[in-house]
Structure 1
């Protein structure tokens, strides 16, 4: 069996998609460095390789990578940060981010982007949206030209860069910079629809972007447009069994049908039953589930 090298993979994917070297490596490394990677003269580190593969439309998780001790400890520290945020331990997350900043590779744009992204998430979750916007704008500036992207310039983006832009749009929405948020969501939609999906994770992300657009249309009383978006989201998520955020999708779908006067008593009950089931699925333990059932006066026959 023929095993392709990292350099061959990068070069083949780039040429197949007719991307220039400068498009692929912008903000990540020099064109000279990318040429060396493609020619097998050097090997990019794990984090850089993931960005390059994702920009080329490849699922980086499909490839095995040998990592250095330094990269292992950086990954371990990243996981600590992410676990703190998942558990809503925001002060601990900030402390772990500071520990991460002390690591040797932090001067690289990818790691700086990571720091500003997770610092922004902490600020967002504690309601400090202006500080979060500052972090997300600094984050995206490390590897992408934000001004050009807003104006529709052609850029290739990794999954991290897409996530930064989505969070930036969400924070713009929170501080009533609706037009700025709309521009970002529209550009993300355009970008994602012009590139093939590389994973279910990215497809879920795509439907999340469409949901934000549907939500904006709903708030602007454009119910027909919002409903077209929500129908597309619902059909896609249902097809791929994507449960996360389905509750919010069903709630908006039900609200739209009510506004448009075609929500029946039967369909309303069906929506409520599905929403309740999805809420129960989110319960992490029996105690939480019983508390929710008591709050909603749910009785099992």
Structure 2
């Protein structure tokens, strides 16, 4: 089916129910975004589509049913891009970014553009040490879909898309790298709270929790609150043991190594570094292990992709 089918379904049900666009959009998206979905110029995210259908009293519609083959391919590329960036396969990430730039056009869905510009920002961070402008760039991309939002206040929204959550997490890392640890912890704690309230039935619940626990462990470690740091680190590694995920486990081990160094536990730091080295060697072989190990150890503190 063509992507416009999303809009046809939403519009036809809304009109049949006698609801206005304002009534359907309230608390989910802007009225203008809903209008774009209905006329086919914007494809809703899975989460947003499900919320709209719940508002319309029709929660049984399957998002996947309306995927065109082209949209399914783009979703596959989006997933692969994040996996490549997370695992340090920068050449593959670059290939996917070039594919997007080649196919992008001025009429592209704003959420699609937001995702790929976010992926490009994360790709550049691998090669360039992030500066103060990193957080500002994250929020500039975030504003493509949320025009009025204050990062440092208590958030009223909790229905963020995958890309918006990714950007908020990286804005928090921006604070962390600027040594503004309280602001960073504030961002991660709000994301953690949202995940606990709304994410427990989602397949990525434990991964998000592990990432946010790791980032909170870094913040509290830098603030000298080592017992809090150890508590969040233990929660994060516990999630990975339940869910799996070797790359995420490596990233958490790197955080644990840093905490052990900070606490003066040299033997523990050495053990965690050796464990990282052994895992990397087992996964990628001796030929590639050095490059992979260098990638993981040279990254700035924190975990970008959740």
Tell me if both proteins adopt one fold, taking TM over 0.5 as the criterion.
Answer: yes
Higher relative contact order (CA 8 A, sep 6+): 2
Query: Unaligned 5+ residue runs, structure 2?
Result: 1-7, 15-22, 294-306
Aligned to 1:288: 288
Aligned to 1:112: 113
Aligned to 2:299: none
Contact 2:111 2:145 in 1 (8 A): yes
Residue by residue over 1:184-223, the C-alpha shift from the partner in whole angstroms, topping out at 9 and shown as x without a partner, is 2121112111113344434212211110111111122211
Residue by residue over 1:75-120, the C-alpha shift from the partner in whole angstroms, topping out at 9 and shown as x without a partner, is 688689769866424876765554344x2532x4313322431232
Tell me if 1:173 matches 2:168: no
Offset, 1:53: 4.4
Aligned to 2:163: 160
Aligned to 1:14: none
User: How far apart, in 2, do the equivalents of 1:275 and 1:83 lie?
Assistant: 19
Which structure has the larger Rg? 1
1:115-194 to 2 correspondence within 5 Å?
Answer: 115-127=116-128, 128-145=130-147, 147-148=149-150, 150-155=152-157, 156-194=159-197
Tell me if 1:24 matches 2:31: no
**Taking structure 2 as the reference length, what is the TM-score of the superposition?**
0.65
Query: Unaligned 5+ residue runs, structure 1?
Result: 12-18, 294-301
Compute the RMSD of aligned alpha carbons. 4.6
Number of aligned positions between the proteins: 266
Given the superposition, is the C-alpha separation of residues 255 and 22 from structure 1 closer, same or farther in structure 2, using an over 3 Å criterion? same
Offset, 1:264: 11
Q: Which 10-residue stretch deviates more, 74-83 or 118-127?
A: 74-83
Aligned to 2:302: none
User: How far apart, in 2, do the equivalents of 1:204 and 1:81 lie?
Assistant: 17
Given the superposition, is the C-alpha separation of residues 105 and 82 from structure 1 closer, same or farther in structure 2, using an over 3 Å criterion? farther
Q: Which 10-residue stretch deviates more, 160-169 or 171-180?
A: 171-180
User: How far apart, in 2, do the equivalents of 1:194 and 1:143 lie?
Assistant: 22
